[in-house]
Structure 1
């Protein structure tokens, strides 16, 4: 101990801003190669005991990290330079990485410090509002549903509407198997020139996820991150209370029941992450376990999940050989509950009791009207999902200029879901004598890729060339069974053999289906060249030739080129006050494959009729080819005065050859239908990001950042020149369609008559829009020139905003993140059905009560009255944290506690519960019917349906501990 003491020395000093001379409180000072460190006090001063010959590593957000040798000095002052070197950061791109300065495409890199905080259970929500052009919306926040993701709008009307996910180099990896706690950084490849290297799966953009790794500094570190979160409903649907309902003519059943309160709860979630990592110069490792017990605000909704992840990196042969191994396993047990309980809680009579006096659930026998508490209590809807993936990547440097990389990985997903509806449940179960549904599926994905990279410098020219091969294979199988008529509820779905439907002779009551995919393979050859001249002129080009078994035999191969050029203008112009000025131009082509297999082949159907019959139901198309997207992106990166940095991108993308099923002449194609390439979209947009590096207000430092994006999509070609879609549904509005699409016009048009007033009989009065002296509002003439219909709004926002505010004060950190969308409209379907007070129907359903209601209106008919502007600005995420000074502790390396609020407040005039855009429509589900979520309509945005989950406000308290 005496020897160790003799080798130590005390060093102190002050950390300041190199440009202003101001003190920097909260700067980190660490003895290099150790966990020994401290932070500066309010005046920027520090004191630390270090070993003789130590080197200090000094860092602070927004400043370039410095390493300073202590030598024999007892006082070491350090001036930090503002970090305006973003363009020289290393950024992960397809099959490798580049200096950001050399990138000619539109790429956004986010580190862990920039992610959204709080009760985040879906990895995509880490990015919500952080990337210009990336839209992430989880309407209502159902813990068992995934967010809707769009990058630069609609990229297809078929499958693959969401970006391709690449995790640690594995193409198509599932984010369901990546815990948010394990993600170190995310890079988003937004334009075609960046995504083209991924070919047929990159049409909707690419999100590259890099998970955390061990450190080479030596030793082992243990980290714990945990939090508890409490969520409650942010907004209920505005309905009449019992007294108001009775006064409006409603039937008084003698009780006072808040049905929305009865089916919701304060949801408490617990999340714990433990990670062990470490290593030395040759080998690093990291092991983590993540435990999530998550409750939703809807009773009985939520999940329990365990995720484990392991990574190992080893260098050998004088660091010429690098081996990476990654493995992750996730087991999730979900209770999906029933979103329909929320819907019927809005509609149900507020004077109805929950139960009759005999204990049985109260139930009025009415169309589309079920006791919401009974829905949850009498029925079950659960599932299990297991994800396993691994990959091994090996890189060998043959020479200093030439290296070879190979990557092999597999991913397995198994799903087992089950539903049971009680014999006593009027919701789905009663009329079937009990109803059981079981579904299971297995998916296996295999990836093998290898590529070589050659890098060489020639005086003022640097050359980097890569070429490789990719093999991908998908295998899928599933089975679904639905049976009813059970003798007892005791075993339910676990005793399908007892279902009376097996012997009833009613074939329609027995629903059995199964499928298995054919050989789904993608084989590709790719190459890329990057050239840098004079460290200021950059050229990037790539080419991928790819074949897929999903396409027609005559068109299985496609070619996807990309080209990009960039110029560091400041290198030549030397403008005063300008740190960075770079111009980028990129062009790229990507493709999109169909989701299902076999669309290019004949499809036959088997029927039991007539002793068994086989019929052709769809003709083959040997010419079926890729959907294809070509995109031009113009961008400029800038930095001003050592403080302000930003990027502006303007783009045009054209999507052609949608893969759509369409009617064809029966004299050529006997079935009358086949899949063909038809249709085109064009999207034009602009994106801007601005970041200001540290505004000093006394001892407080504020670092703001803003991202803005806007786009418009036009339907250039389609199989139908003009049509209405998105049916409103029952009760009473079947055949009423709310969305219009037309060739040559923008996507997202909400279409209908314009409300003008109330007739004497309580019916709505509509405007004579064409001035012909008569009002024609019949849905059958919605597209007729004589009809009085017009665009009532658009479901796609004109502008999306993310505004980050990072504030530091001593050891405190505060982050307030605002998010907004402007210019979009929503159809408030609750109002469209249940706001007019019909004396004949008031006994059936409760009524929506808003300031938009019109006195005297008794008839519900869709019109402009129910289309609302849904502009909003919300304090989406606010965090307050405190980092303890642990320099004097021999056991604790770091300790931080924090409190977080999600959905703190929303500023909006929308009368529904959530004004966020709805970018796709799942259609209507009426009278307890099952909702099909497998094929959403991306051409019908802006419909706020009655089956949405309720939005929550969440309070989180957490701790991060390093040992």
Structure 2
């Protein structure tokens, strides 16, 4: 018994000794670091962030005098000291004396420029209401094929309103700081300094976009800039070897939610319920009630004849696909030498549509679709040390296809206006349904049998810009001359135009 007690005491004392040694080693590893953070002018930096590298949960901030105290895991730790607008510094932690950290202004941030009405200006010196975004931000807008839609949510004060959403007509309506006029609130759009639409511009070819919003920023444009100005700068080549960039993406589009409506069975059941409540006021209402045996045939037809005699049509299912695809492929090359810098790009865009396709037996399709090819070449020639010649050549060719109709609403309107029980969109014998009593619209036949309309838009833009530095007169003085040609070729109402002559029937 005594031997067991002695053995237990040895184990207990050994455990205490081990714990004590562990605490001693842990205490020896932890180091208290003291330091001061100042700027170039030896002024204390208040609120500078000090964290331990690879252990970001350990950190503190400098006080009103720029001082800080931080307990770090050991003297081999590295401290990361940062502050907004200043370059980040890394220093080695030490318990000997006080660490002095000098943070310098971040020249990259201070030298950042924005495009304004009269050229470029340092961002820190801009006093007007100007906001800017870059190509990297725009290219992150997934599922967007046009530049106008890419601005949505990326520029404060810029309001975009969705258009019809048809392929080739997805450019939104753009307003800056809301509607300023009942007539036209669209801003002035300048592409490389020339007034042009952004519809035929590829997102991947844009370097930056500046939006001038208030009167002081848009004053140089006069009355044209009353609704704001959007300045688009395209990409240009840089010195160095040729850089080739290629990208391809495919977007799956589907309706987020479609409004629900009652089918034939539920509609007649609801009507019978309403008529039961009306019998007390209008005893003749029972004559309008439909027998349950007939209502059941709308949901559970016994054969094909009953299904066509008692239709229960889901017009949304007949008209719309579950999804549509959009594809985009872009290839660009850029580079340059001391004499010439170049940037060239080609882009292909295809937009599918949610409308279904039906064989009309006439050898053509009338569903919507859009295909576009963009090309751009920007060249900079350094003729002399003070003379620069810029040439911009860009072109786009877009083909939009759809049914030829003056009232596109009639194409999809029956999805929510035509009752599900009036007729079948198309019967088993190939005849199209119609309603001679109430003239209900058959959107399926309207889409399939309409004449085909192809609209082709071709744009060709050419710019020549000559810039001459006149520093020998006074530093910063220069002259700029530019010549631009814009050509737009529009062809519409092309395609197939046939008389109807189709077979319709009403059961």
Instruction: Using structure 1 for the length normalisation, give the TM-score.
Output: 0.35
Q: Deviations over 1:76-109 (max 9, x none)?
A: xxx9989697565211011311111221210001
Specify whether residues 349 and 135 from structure 1 end up closer, same or farther in structure 2 by C-alpha distance, changes over 3 A only: same
Alignment of 1:283 with 2:313, yes or no, is no
Specify whether residues 184 and 157 from structure 1 end up closer, same or farther in structure 2 by C-alpha distance, changes over 3 A only: same
Match of residue 301 from structure 1: 368
Contact 1:144 1:336 in 2 (8 A): no
In 2, the alpha carbon distance for the partners of 1:120 and 1:324 equals 30
SS of the residue aligned with 1:272?
strand
Paired residue for 1:257, among 302, 313, 320? 313
Specify whether residues 103 and 370 from structure 1 end up closer, same or farther in structure 2 by C-alpha distance, changes over 3 A only: same
In 1, the alpha carbon distance for the partners of 2:441 and 2:251 equals 32
Contact 1:374 1:425 in 2 (8 A): no
In 2, the alpha carbon distance for the partners of 1:23 and 1:390 equals 53
Paired residue for 1:388, among 460, 473, 492? 460
SS of the residue aligned with 2:432?
coil
Paired residue for 1:238, among 254, 260, 264? 260
Q: Deviations over 1:185-239 (max 9, x none)?
A: 10000112111211232111100011111122x1001000110111111111221
Specify whether residues 277 and 235 from structure 1 end up closer, same or farther in structure 2 by C-alpha distance, changes over 3 A only: same
Paired residue for 2:50, among 8, 11, 20? 20
In 1, the alpha carbon distance for the partners of 2:376 and 2:50 equals 45
SS of the residue aligned with 1:233?
coil
Contact 1:388 1:411 in 2 (8 A): yes
Tell me by how many angstroms 1:113 deviates. Answer: 2.5
Aligned pairs (5 A) from 1:653-732: none
Q: Which runs of 5+ in 1 are unaligned?
A: 1-17, 26-61, 67-78, 431-963
Specify whether residues 230 and 262 from structure 1 end up closer, same or farther in structure 2 by C-alpha distance, changes over 3 A only: same
Contact 1:363 1:371 in 2 (8 A): yes
Match of residue 478 from structure 2: 403
Alignment of 1:417 with 2:492, yes or no, is yes
Specify whether residues 364 and 422 from structure 1 end up closer, same or farther in structure 2 by C-alpha distance, changes over 3 A only: farther
Q: Deviations over 1:39-75 (max 9, x none)?
A: xxxxxxxxxxxxxxxxxxxxxxx98789xxxxxxxxx
In 1, the alpha carbon distance for the partners of 2:449 and 2:479 equals 60
Alignment of 1:209 with 2:232, yes or no, is yes
Paired residue for 2:448, among 377, 391, 399? 377
Alignment of 1:96 with 2:124, yes or no, is no
Paired residue for 2:395, among 311, 322, 329? 329
SS of the residue aligned with 1:177?
coil
Contact 2:410 2:441 in 1 (8 A): no
Tell me by how many angstroms 1:150 deviates. Answer: 1.1
SS of the residue aligned with 2:414?
helix
Match of residue 194 from structure 1: 217
Equivalenced residue count is 363
Specify whether residues 230 and 316 from structure 1 end up closer, same or farther in structure 2 by C-alpha distance, changes over 3 A only: same
Contact 2:168 2:351 in 1 (8 A): no
Tell me by how many angstroms 1:410 deviates. Answer: 1.6
In 2, the alpha carbon distance for the partners of 1:24 and 1:418 equals 66
Match of residue 154 from structure 1: 179
Match of residue 427 from structure 2: 356
Tell me by how many angstroms 1:364 deviates. Answer: 1.2
Q: Deviations over 1:14-43 (max 9, x none)?
A: xxxx94345599xxxxxxxxxxxxxxxxxx
SS of the residue aligned with 1:108?
strand
Match of residue 301 from structure 2: none
Contact 2:85 2:109 in 1 (8 A): no
Contact 1:150 1:204 in 2 (8 A): yes
Q: Deviations over 1:337-372 (max 9, x none)?
A: 445322221122223312134312111135663211
Specify whether residues 108 and 236 from structure 1 end up closer, same or farther in structure 2 by C-alpha distance, changes over 3 A only: same
In 2, the alpha carbon distance for the partners of 1:368 and 1:63 equals 69
Specify whether residues 394 and 377 from structure 1 end up closer, same or farther in structure 2 by C-alpha distance, changes over 3 A only: same
Contact 1:177 1:328 in 2 (8 A): no
In 1, the alpha carbon distance for the partners of 2:446 and 2:498 equals 10
Instruction: Using structure 2 for the length normalisation, give the TM-score.
Output: 0.65
Contact 2:373 2:397 in 1 (8 A): yes
Q: Deviations over 1:620-650 (max 9, x none)?
A: xxxxxxxxxxxxxxxxxxxxxxxxxxxxxxx
Alignment of 1:273 with 2:330, yes or no, is yes
Specify whether residues 65 and 412 from structure 1 end up closer, same or farther in structure 2 by C-alpha distance, changes over 3 A only: farther
Which protein has the bigger strand share?
1
Which protein has the bigger helix share?
2
SS of the residue aligned with 1:410?
strand
In 1, the alpha carbon distance for the partners of 2:108 and 2:378 equals 30
Q: Deviations over 1:243-264 (max 9, x none)?
A: 2123244996423322112222
Contact 2:87 2:105 in 1 (8 A): no
Contact 2:340 2:381 in 1 (8 A): yes
Contact 1:375 1:425 in 2 (8 A): no
Tell me by how many angstroms 1:375 deviates. Answer: 1.4
Match of residue 65 from structure 2: none
Match of residue 946 from structure 1: none
Tell me by how many angstroms 1:422 deviates. Answer: 4.7
Contact 1:394 1:405 in 2 (8 A): yes
Match of residue 151 from structure 2: 127
In 2, the alpha carbon distance for the partners of 1:388 and 1:313 equals 19
SS of the residue aligned with 1:309?
strand
Match of residue 304 from structure 2: none
Contact 2:148 2:199 in 1 (8 A): no
In 2, the alpha carbon distance for the partners of 1:63 and 1:425 equals 73
Contact 1:336 1:382 in 2 (8 A): yes
In 2, the alpha carbon distance for the partners of 1:365 and 1:154 equals 46
Contact 1:123 1:178 in 2 (8 A): yes
Specify whether residues 254 and 412 from structure 1 end up closer, same or farther in structure 2 by C-alpha distance, changes over 3 A only: same
In 2, the alpha carbon distance for the partners of 1:122 and 1:21 equals 43
Paired residue for 1:316, among 378, 383, 391? 383
Tell me by how many angstroms 1:384 deviates. Answer: 0.8
Match of residue 16 from structure 2: none
In 1, the alpha carbon distance for the partners of 2:161 and 2:107 equals 32
Q: Which runs of 5+ in 2 are unaligned?
A: 1-47, 56-83, 89-101, 272-289, 299-308, 357-366
In 2, the alpha carbon distance for the partners of 1:422 and 1:143 equals 24
Aligned pairs (5 A) from 1:216-231: 216=239, 218-231=240-253
In 2, the alpha carbon distance for the partners of 1:193 and 1:254 equals 68
